[in-house]
Structure 1
Amino acid sequence: MEKEELLKIRRDLHQIPELGFQEYKTQQYLLNIIKQFKSEHLKIETWRTGIFVLLEGTNPKKTIGYRADIDGLPIQEETTYPFQSKHSGYMHACGHDFHMSIALGILSHFIDNRIEDNLLFLFQPAEEGPGGAEPMLNSEIAGKWRPDLIFALHIAPELPVGTIATKPGLLFANTSELFIDLKGKGGHAAYPHTTNDMVVAAANLVTQMQSIVSRNVDPLDSAVVTIGKITGGTVQNIIAENARLEGTIRTLSVESMDKVKERIEAIVRGLEIGYNCQAAIDYGAMYHQVYNDEALSEEFMSYISEHTDYDVKLSTEAMTGEDFGYMVSKIPGFMFWLGVDSPFGLHHAKLTPNEDAIQVAVDVMSKYIEFKSKSK
């Protein structure tokens, strides 16, 4: 594919962001492009709103997987693009339009330059939630075409174009959503003694949870407990009968995630007694840490440094979460950051990644996959 074709694809996809497991237009657009690749060695299977694409090798010894996520975010776009989102309130604010375009560019390269090994492209829905990696990898199709290795990338707004960054081992954190519902007894604001106020209970709960990281997590480990939203009550002169807290937990180890949840549950049990209320906890979507295969990621970094003109950097682990973590927990592989030089970061309404990075990624992964197919 020429650069102009990839840019058109990216801009078309940018205009139709859809939420997890609702990517119907996106799936159809991708299928229309993929079906234009005329090859008797290409096999296509749909799974919910995702797609598996298998390109058979000339003499396969293994199957190399490449994953691209396809969903958007519930964000109202504020860029000055002439190709802004046509879906009001939704935006590709995490670069998944880039990820899909890059995957199509890599696929196009190998349609014309078949290698010995099979290539499996996974266009995965619901990365932003509720989580598409686990069910997609556990599907019957993935069982039939299960890859032996798997790779993925994520755009990095803070890095310049031409920069590749990754690290062996832990790259992205364990993450979990957190929802806590409180139910007490409402009543007139003038008679607080006859009620159980859930606004006060919610405020106390937030304060108590701030001690979890500082007093229950190993100081040499890292964890975050953030409550980003609180709702409760109806009007100013009625004591709230219900309250809801919504937040996130992020840790750099599975052990710390278990410890944080254990402490949240203990604190909530105490709150039920102390405020004479009922509470329910829901952890929502939980993402496994992205733990890069150490040998593969070291080999990848060495290959980029020795065989390309791109700049490779050793990154640090991040508290961001990524659904790809489930895939690399089951299959050897790695994820890397792709520099896109945007003044605004991920999940920002003004994210404007530099489109020159698309060709960088296609070039890098095409060369590395060819190298991996030749190596034993």
Structure 2
Amino acid sequence: MLAKNDLSEIYQALHQIPELALQEFKTKDYLLSIIKNFNQKFLEYREIKELPTALLVRVKGFAPKRTIGYRCDIDALPVKEQTGLSFASKNNGVMHACGHDLHMTVALGVLAYFATEQPKDNLLFFFQPAEESENGGKLAYELGVFSGKWRPDEFYGLHDNPDLPTGAIGCNLGTLFAGTTEVDIYLHGKSGHAAFPQNANDMIVCASALIMQAQTIVSRNVDPTKGGVLTFGELKAGSIRNVIAGEALIKGTIRGLTQEMIELIQQRLKTICAGVAQTYDATIDLKLNQGGYLPVENNDKLTKFFIEYMKNAPDVEFIETTPAMTGEDFGYLLAKFPGTMFWLGVNDTHSLHSECFTPDQGAILKGINAITGFLVVRMKKEV
């Protein structure tokens, strides 16, 4: 088991070596160096040649009736840290601005506990690369990683939350996080001199019309009680004031609390792009990339049990949350395995992905205790 000082040391070490998606080699090596100091009697490791920064650790149960999976993401973000911490990132321009360093520390604490106190059921710890981009959970699943004794019967995972008190557990039935889709729209017309618009096909005008029409999707096609988002955050066109732009690029994101909602918005956007292309005599190429970023839909039965436990655990502050429009690729794994994702409060005034994000380290031990307590009780339940 890891003491509070050990956990702080691990967290600060991980914070200093953030790595981007599929590049987490130092992070994985550090994780292995810590885990190999645990009691090895019940542990078994698996690495994946095609996904070399992923790591799976299996803890053998003494009377297993199931395998319970616990997923922990390990990648960081392309953010230049501005926290002023003594243990700030040593990788310039990369930072654990989403708290995956804290996620890893909690997971190591839970693993350390069960390496010493053999669990009743088998446990599977999945240290997952590429959550922020490249959908590492989907990559692992498609490689057939979760098969045989490495297949979980149910999966759990957490995400830190700066808006909740330190160590509080937050969760809700249904969708916890939205699903997301990347949107890239390429518009092709004809450039020309600003003085002779009749000889050109202006893609700034075309892009403007497309953006305005697309904004009616959520306001007029989406049930206002269900929610959806279509945001365009990038528009590129033109190079000089007196030349009509013949090309334009629009980039954005779709978010929805159900896959049905996401597909509705996707289809309406396809229809609008086709209509605008015809109206403005343009060629419009729409590319939609959802990958593994499906809505994080919690399993009703397992989540009811999880919430009931957390509400009644004497040392846990439980807060019922509402769905968030942030994305998380754990949604893909929850579409394949029943399970629950939940929040761990870290009480920070800075938002996730902020260059100043500084989660309260006091959440680490509280999170470990809440999760280990839940897993022990879960393993006593027959079904």
| Same fold, judged at TM 0.5 (above) | yes
1:99 correspondence with 2:100? no
Q: Which residue pairs with 1:136 in the alignment?
A: 140
Alignment counterpart, residue 368 of structure 1, candidates 360, 363, 374: 374
Q: Which residue pairs with 1:15 in the alignment?
A: 16
What is the deviation of 1:125?
1.1
1:76 correspondence with 2:77? no
Alignment counterpart, residue 322 of structure 1, candidates 303, 325, 328: 328
What is the deviation of 1:9?
1.4
What is the deviation of 1:175?
1.4
Q: Could you tell me how far apart the structure 2 residues matched to 1:182 and 1:18 are?
A: 35
Structure 2, unaligned runs of 5 or more: none
Q: Which amino acid aligns with 1:289?
A: P
TM-score by length of 2: 0.94
Q: Which amino acid aligns with 1:272?
A: A
Q: Which residue pairs with 2:229 in the alignment?
A: 224
TM-score by length of 1: 0.96
1:337 correspondence with 2:343? yes
What is the deviation of 1:85?
1.4
Q: Which residue pairs with 1:197 in the alignment?
A: 202
Q: Which residue pairs with 2:25 in the alignment?
A: 24
Indicate the percent of aligned positions where both proteins have the same amino acid: 43
Instruction: Provide, for residues 154-201 of structure 1, a one-character-per-residue CA deviation record: whole Å limited to 9, x for no partner.
Output: 101011113111012221112111111111111223322211121221
1:50 correspondence with 2:62? no
What is the deviation of 1:14?
1.3
What is the deviation of 1:139?
2.9
Written as runs of structure 1 = structure 2, the 5 A alignment for 1:345-364 is 345-364=351-370
Alignment counterpart, residue 308 of structure 1, candidates 294, 309, 314: 314
What is the deviation of 1:137?
2.5
Instruction: Provide, for residues 193-245 of structure 1, a one-character-per-residue CA deviation record: whole Å limited to 9, x for no partner.
Output: 21112122112211111111111112222111000111122233322222111
Query: Is the deviation greater in 149-158 or in 16-25?
Result: 16-25
Count of residues in correspondence between the two structures: 376
What is the deviation of 1:54?
0.7
The 4+ residue runs of structure 1 with deviation greater than 6 A are none
Are the aligned partners of 1:137 and 1:143 in contact in 2 as well (CA < 8 Å)? Answer: no
Q: Do the aligned partners of residues 340 and 204 (structure 1) sit closer, same or farther apart at CA in structure 2, a change above 3 Å counting?
A: same
Q: Could you tell me how far apart the structure 1 residues matched to 2:299 and 2:71 are?
A: 16
What is the deviation of 1:264?
0.6
What is the deviation of 1:279?
1.3
1:158 correspondence with 2:163? yes
Q: Could you tell me how far apart the structure 1 residues matched to 2:25 and 2:239 are?
A: 37
Structure 1, unaligned runs of 5 or more: none
Q: Which residue pairs with 1:291 in the alignment?
A: 297
Q: Do the aligned partners of residues 92 and 285 (structure 1) sit closer, same or farther apart at CA in structure 2, a change above 3 Å counting?
A: farther
Instruction: Provide, for residues 96-134 of structure 1, a one-character-per-residue CA deviation record: whole Å limited to 9, x for no partner.
Output: 111111111110111111112111000111111121112
Query: Is the deviation greater in 102-111 or in 286-295?
Result: 286-295
